[in-house]
Structure 1
Amino acid sequence: MIKLIWRTDVHFSDHTPKRRNGNWTDDVSAKLEWIGEYTHKHKIDAVIDGGDFFDVKTPSRNSHSLVSRTAKIHKGYACPIYTLVGNHDVKYGNIDYLEEQPLSVLFNAGVFEQFGGSKEVILDKNGIKVRLVGIPYHGTSYDWDLIRSIQKGDEDYLLVACHLLASEKGGVGAMFEGEDIVPYDELKGKGVDGWFFGHWHKDQGIVKWGDTTIVNVGSLTRGALHLDDLDRKPYIVEVDIDKDGIEFLKVDVPCRMDAFKVEEALVEKKNKSRMEEVVDKMKQVAIEDKGLSLIDRVNAITGVKQEVKELAISYLEKI
């Protein structure tokens, strides 16, 4: 049997996100160490990392200690870590800048092994041959010819890992600056036994789709406070392969119960809603009298509570 682990979008960083409790670096390190222990306990043959291991694209904003900590943790794994390049791993989201990045240091030091594009991985054990193909992030307009060209060869099992957006319906994502989204129907009929997607943090599950299986389980970590993050429990996927077939198993990863500063976020959201209301009213006043100052415009608004006006003015006075 060949046993693999899928994880994606670690977003390791020196900085704790604004709405997170605790220390981000320590919390993420604990998850990575837990996965390392899992590789020993369950005799895992390889970890597949779907990209965006780092969060900050600017090389100089990732400390030497962060890179050193990454190396120390992963040197303790029982198996190689095959890693895709994500948009957060490289400056401007452009893989041409890979050599300047901390991820390149980890590749060159042998901590991670790069795959994707022409760099494929072959796993051969106990008479079972698995081919791993990778499609790294390559911009908001996807190389559809590349996606459609993937076909099974003489391997027993073909797995494809991508740092791309994918969903059942596909299309173009307005929330992702017009980035393409791969529709699941595009993935059928190629002889691929498993498609794995990183990039989109939302958990879209593990689904059987025609003659293939799609693993699109979201990010290992929860840095931003979105609605899908409040009750989402991150997990990795164990992939067990033998002569009789392939199985995809969800494995829960330990995480903080109090991950987010929810109350602060709700207050901020409420204030934002109030400000949007004030801005709309200000636009109306501006049309009626262009000679008023911003503060005068706020005071001239009707139909808005005085406390909301005062809050708006306090913000304006800080500008």
Structure 2
Amino acid sequence: MDKFIVTGDLHFRSENPRSRKDNYCDALLAKLYEVFQIAQDHRVKAIIIPGDIFDSSNVSLPTIIKLAHFLEACKENFAIDVLVISGNHDLPAGNKGAINRTPFGLLTELGYLYDVEAADISSPELLSSELLPTDMMESWITGCGFDYQTDTPEGANQYQTGQTYDPDGDYPRIHIVHSMLLAAGPSFPMRHTLIDEVETDADIIISGHYHDGFGIIRRPDGKLFLNPGALCRLSASQAEMSRTVQVALLTVNSKTDFHAELIPLQSARPAEEVLDREAIVEKKEHENWLESFFDSLQQDGEEKFLEVREIVEKIASLENVSDGVKLEALRRIGEAREKLGGREVSAGA
């Protein structure tokens, strides 16, 4: 039997979000420490975090060091591995080619985090790895971090494990994604993927990105989907005010016998104690202006594409540009944004 603790996004940062009344970083570390304690109590094989470890790919060095020291202490005290994939906030413009130059890449290189997309955990070459215990190989774990194609038709294969199916295997296939997986369509236009429409060869899909989370959903075909919601509360939206901060305990007994349960975090203080709703009211005038701006764009026959990748994809579609050229353009934009971000950080320092 294998057990895993599954969290949502961390968005680790040093500065306080506008809506927080407490010390956000200290609160997040307290919750993360409780996650390790829960993992130890249940004797889990690993903690799984499906992306957005950091709030930005350009966080300051003191912020990186603070999380590194915390993870180092937890590794010594609990001896529990942390399995991750990269989220959109971990990378500049979704550019996976830059991952080794990011705080996320640094912590995986130092061994504080283990990027499951970098190598299949069930691969023979990892059997003697010092990063993971040998009995971890009993579970088949793969992952796909966020990139330009996530939640698009071109990115539909991100839910596939990429592994050959073993009909005689004893354990289910666990696949981790950073996708806007939803149980139902959103009330406003946004990139997303419906759980009912996911085609996957995995038995268990663990996802991040969607902060509200959808909890635990088992489809009629038996496939299990998990997202307990983000470990952080960055805004004072009504959804965040009413959301329970929790983790999921995934228990795997056999290839066909697996289940999950949600565990609320005791260290998460009541929303009204840590979130400031006044910021929402102050932003109302700005939001009204944005709505008027969007209306004017529509009247001019323009599309409401605000994300860089959406603009590129629109131009590529209009000009009949090949997918190869489109992806190269997105890659270069990602590199340019990374360089710009680096200059901004240096200037700020």
Aligned residue number for residue 132 of structure 1: 141
Does 1:248 pair with 2:257? no
Structural mapping, 1:73-222, within 5 Å: 73-75=73-75, 76-116=77-117, 119-122=119-122, 125=135, 129-140=138-149, 141=152, 142-148=154-160, 150=162, 152-153=165-166, 154-169=169-184, 174-175=189-190, 179=191, 181-187=192-198, 190=201, 192-210=202-220, 211-222=222-233
- Contact persistence 1:203–1:232 (CA under 8 A): no
- Contact persistence 2:159–2:200 (CA under 8 A): no
SS, match of residue 121 in structure 1: coil
CA deviations on 1:160-197 (whole Å, 9 max, x unpaired) are: 1101111235699724xxx3x2222333673x321111
Shift of 1:147: 3.0
Equivalent AA in structure 1 for residue 235 of structure 2: A
Within the candidate set 238, 241, 246, 1:235 is matched to 246
Unmatched 5+ residue regions in structure 1? 284-319
Q: 1:263 to 1:120 in 2, by over 3 A?
A: same
Equivalent AA in structure 2 for residue 80 of structure 1: D
Shift of 1:237: 0.5
CA distance in 2, matches of 1:10, 1:206: 19
- Contact persistence 1:9–1:220 (CA under 8 A): yes
CA distance in 1, matches of 2:290, 2:178: 35
Shift of 1:156: 1.9
Aligned residue number for residue 278 of structure 2: 263
CA distance in 2, matches of 1:273, 1:53: 28
Aligned residue number for residue 36 of structure 2: 36
Q: 1:246 to 1:273 in 2, by over 3 A?
A: closer
CA deviations on 1:204-248 (whole Å, 9 max, x unpaired) are: 221111221111332111112222111001111011111471120
CA distance in 2, matches of 1:145, 1:274: 38
Q: 1:131 to 1:272 in 2, by over 3 A?
A: same
Structure showing greater radius of gyration is: 1
Question: Which has more strand, going by share of residues?
Answer: 1
- Contact persistence 2:228–2:262 (CA under 8 A): no
Shift of 1:129: 2.9
Equivalent AA in structure 1 for residue 139 of structure 2: V
Equivalent AA in structure 1 for residue 39 of structure 2: T
CA distance in 2, matches of 1:70, 1:276: 40
Count of matched residue positions in the alignment of Structure 1 and Structure 2: 272
| Greater CA drift, 135-144 or 99-108 | 135-144
- Contact persistence 1:57–1:92 (CA under 8 A): no
Q: Given the two structures, how large is their TM-score scaled by the length of structure 1?
A: 0.75
SS, match of residue 5 in structure 1: strand
Aligned residue number for residue 19 of structure 2: 19
Shift of 1:34: 0.9
CA distance in 2, matches of 1:112, 1:28: 17
Equivalent AA in structure 1 for residue 57 of structure 2: K
- Contact persistence 1:170–1:184 (CA under 8 A): no
Q: 1:247 to 1:149 in 2, by over 3 A?
A: closer
What percentage of aligned pairs have identical amino acids? 19
Shift of 1:275: 6.4
Unmatched 5+ residue regions in structure 2? 123-132, 297-349
CA deviations on 1:94-113 (whole Å, 9 max, x unpaired) are: 22111111122211111111
Shift of 1:68: 3.4
Please give the root-mean-square deviation of Cα atoms over the aligned residues, in Å: 3.0
- Contact persistence 2:7–2:227 (CA under 8 A): no
Q: 1:105 to 1:274 in 2, by over 3 A?
A: closer
CA distance in 1, matches of 2:210, 2:280: 22
Aligned residue number for residue 320 of structure 2: none
Q: Given the two structures, how large is their TM-score scaled by the length of structure 2?
A: 0.69
